[in-house]
A and B are shown apart, each in its own frame.
Chain A
Amino acid sequence: MPVQKIDAPDSIIPRKVGVAPGEGAEKGLITLPGESDREVEGLGGATYLTTKLDAVVNWARGNSLWPLPFGTACCAIEFMSMVSSHYDISRFGAEVVRFSPRQADLMIVAGTIVDKIAPVLKKIYDQMPEPKYVIAMGACATSGGFYRAYHVVQGIDEVIPVDIWVPGCPPTPDGLMYGILKLKEKIERGEIRRAG
C-alpha cells in the first residue's frame, strides 16, 4: 500500500507524515488482541481464524464505540474538535455520535457537572443499554477541577461509575483520543464486565 503523504502548506500546525500499516495488514490479515500476525491455513480456498468468542466480541466492541457526548462546558468544544475534520476520530471507529442514550455505548462526560444536572446525568446513564462505558473528560468531570464550590459535583464518580479519566483543563483532542484508545484496549482485554 503506498504511503500517502499529507501535505498542507498553509497549515501552521506541524503534522506527522502518514505511516504505512504493518505488513500483516498488507496481506489482508487481521490481528486479535494478544496474538501476533500469523498466516492462517487456507482450507478449501477459504480463510479461517480460530479464537475465543469473547475475544471477537470484545474486539468488535472496542473498535465500534458509539459515543454519547454529555457535553456541558468547555470540554464539549474540544470534543467537537476531536470529532471534526482535523483530528477525525472516525479513524478509530468512534465517530458515530449519538445523542440518544439508547443508541450509544460510550458516554463521554465533557464538562463541569453541577448539582442541578447531576440527577439528569444519572438518568441518562441508566437509560444506556449494557455494555456501557464512561469517560470522564477533563478536570471538572474528574474531580470538580478548580471549582471547589457550592454548586459543583466534585467528580462524576459521585453519581456514576467511570472507566477512563482524561486529565487536562480542557484535555486536548489528542488527549481525549488517547483516552478512547485506552478504553478500547481495556475492552479488548476483557477487563470491563458489568452486571447487566
Chain B
Amino acid sequence: MSTLTKFSPIPYTGPAPTNREAYLPANRELADARALDILAKVARPAVQHESGQDMPTFVVDKNDIVPVLQALHDHADLQFTMPLDLFGVDYPNREKRFDVVYQLYSLKNNERIRLKVRVAENESIPTSTTLFQGYDWYEREVFDMFGVKFEGHPNLRRILTHEAFQGHALRKDYDPAQRWLLTEAGIASIIPKIAKQFEQEEADSDFERVVLNLGPSHPATHGTLRIVVTLDGETIVGAESEIGYLHRCFEKMSETHTYQQVIPFTDRLNYCSAIINNVGYCMTVEKMLGIEAPARAQHVRLMLSEFMRISDHIICIGTNLVDMGALTNFWWLFQPREEILGLVESCCGARLLPSYLRIGGLSVDAPADFLSNSQRLVNMLPKFIDDVEALVMRNRIFRERVDGIAPITAEDAINFGFTGPCLRACGIPYDVRKASPYLGYDTYDWDVPVAEGGDTYARFLVRFEEMRQSLRILQQAIDRGLPPGPVMVDNPYVALPPKEKVYNEMESLIYHFKLIMHGIQPPVGEAYFQVEGGNGEVGFYIVSDGTKTPYRVRARPPCFPIFEAYAKMITGQTIPDAIAALGSLNIIAGELDR
C-alpha cells in the first residue's frame, strides 16, 4: 500500500483562498519592469502596458498590431522572431467582447511577450500572416472558434470544424453539445494552389497535372491528416493540408469540467507522451495557486516525463520506418516501449493514458520497486536504440530517402513557430528544459542535441540522440534516489484528505466535501506555463474567474505550426519523399486538432 497525503494532526492553518481574489504572479515586478523597458524601445502610442502579469503584457489597438509586431520582430535588442501562439478569449459582457492574444518568443533574450487586441463582434483585425507565416492557421482557428475576421488573410475559412458547421464554438454563448451534421455531399473539394516556382512550367511539361488526395484515412498519414497535392509527373507542385478530423473540442470541454477533471483531457492531447501533458497542465494550475508539488512527486514527474519522451520518439521512429518499408525496426522498438508502459502501469494502473498526476502532486505514490525497474529499463534501452540506429542510419537505401529531403531553413522554422526536435534539426538549440528549467532539469548534466540541415535525416539524428540524453538524465535521477516524503501537497484546498481521516475527523470531512462540491478555485487571473513535450513546447494558458471550472484553457500545440509548414516543405519533392518527411515530423492528431 502506498501512503497518501500525510496531514498535520491539527487542522490546516495556512492561508485559505478567499473567493475571487486576484492572481498575483510571483515574477510580476520583474515582468512589469521589463515591459516598461520594451515599451520604451517600441515607441508606439497605441500600446498600453497591462501590469501584474506573468510576462510582459500589452494591450494594442487593432489597427496598430501589425506595426507593433513588426517593431518587436525587427528591433535589434528584442528580436521577437518566433510566433508562439495566437488565440482568442471571449468576454461576452464586455463592450469589446474578444481578446485576441498574441504570444511571441525571443530566442535572443529567451523571453516571452503577450499582446492583446480587443475587438467587438463585428470588427476585424489586419492579418499578420505577411510577417509571421505561422499565424496563417492560427488566424483561421480564431476565425473558426470566435468569428473574428482577419482583413487581408489569404484563405480565411474554417479550419477545425467542418463545412456544415454553424456558429463559433468557443464563444461563451455556444452550447457545448450543439452538433451539426456533415454529409458526403457537403464536403468541399480542395484544389491546392500551385507554388510560385512552378507556375510557369506547366506549358513546357509533358505531363498533365493531376490532383491527388491523401487521407484522412491513409496508411502513411498516421491517423487523421489530409494532404491534397498537385502532381506534375512525380513532382509535387502544389500542396494543401486539411486538419480538424480529430477536433475533439478539448478547449470547450475544459470549460465545462472542474480543474481536476481536465487532467484526463490533457492526456489525450499528445497521447504518445501523455504524462508530459499532465505535467504541463498541472504545473500551470499550481503556478496560479502558488503551490509547488513535493520533491518526491517532482522527481517521479521528471523520470516519467523522460520515459515518455523516449516512448514518443520510439513511436515516431518506428512508424516512420514502417512507412519507408523497414518493418523490423517497428517490431524491435515496440518491445522496450511495452516495458516503459509496464512501468507506468505499475505506478497507477493505466498504460497509455495514465492521468497519474494531480494538481499538487501525484494520485498515488510510486511503487517500492520503481527505481529498480527504472534501472532495468535504463540498462536495456540503449541496446535497442543502438540496434535500430545501426540498421538504418548508415544504410544506403535509407539514406537516399532521407538525405536532404523536405528541408526547412532555420529562418523559416522560426518564422512558422517550430519548437522541439524539428527546430533543433535546423540547428537552433532551443529546448524548454534548458531555456526555462522546471522540475529541476537545470540540476542535471545533459546536452541539447542539434543537427544541421533541417531535413528528414537531421530529424532522425536529433531524435536518436535525444533518447540517449533522456537516458542520461534518467540515470542521474535514479542515482539520486527518490526523495522521502509525501507525493501530494499539504493543502486541503487542493488535495483530498485521506479516507481514514474523512471518516474520523470533522475538519477532514468538511474539506473533502468542499473540494468535491466546489473544486479547486484558483485566484482570478491568467497564467501561461510551458514544458518540453515529445515534439515541442507544450504550453497551457489558463484564465480563471475564481470558480471551480476554468474560464478558458488554451493548449499551445507544438504540432500545429509544424504541420502548417509541411505543405511548403514537400513542394518540389516527390510523393514517397513526402511520406518519409511526414513521419519524421511526428504529427500527433490529438494535439494538432485538440
Contact = CB atoms under 8 A, between A and B. Distances in A.
Interface of A: 10-13, 70-74, 76-78, 80-81, 84-86, 99, 111-112, 114-124, 140, 146-152, 169-170, 172
B537 to A, nearest CB: 21
Contacts, number: 147
A82 to B, nearest CB: 10
A34 B162 CA distance: 49
A148 B176 contact: yes
Main secondary structure of the interface of B (DSSP, over half): loop
A149 to B, nearest CB: 4
B335 A85 contact: yes
Contacts of A74: 268, 271, 352-353, 590
B161 A116 contact: yes
Contact of A116 (B176, B182, B223, B379): B182
B342 A114 contact: no
A114 B247 contact: yes
A10 B340 CA distance: 12
Nearest to A114: B247
Interface in B375-425: 376-377, 379-380
Given A11-B339, A81-B338, A170-B353, 19 more contacts: A12-B346, A12-B376, A13-B342, A73-B223, A73-B589, A73-B590, A77-B271, A77-B315, A84-B330, A84-B331, A86-B335, A114-B246, A116-B162, A116-B245, A148-B177, A149-B176, A150-B180, A151-B179, A152-B248
Nearest to A126: B184
Contacts of A70: 217
A84 B337 CA distance: 11
Contact of A73 (B169, B246, B264, B319): B246
Contacts of A111: 223-224, 246
B7 interface: no
A169 B224 contact: no
B218 interface: yes
Nearest to B336: A10
Given A72-B223, A85-B335, A80 B245 contact: no
B219 interface: yes
A120 B271 contact: no
Given A74-B352, A86-B335, A114 B248 contact: yes
Contact of B252 (A81, A118, A149): A149
Interface string B261-274: 00011001001100
A85 B175 contact: no
10 contacts: A114-B248, A116-B161, A116-B245, A117-B216, A150-B175, A151-B161, A151-B165, A152-B179, A170-B352, A170-B353
B156 interface: no
Contacts of B441: none
A13 B338 contact: yes
A117 B223 CA distance: 11
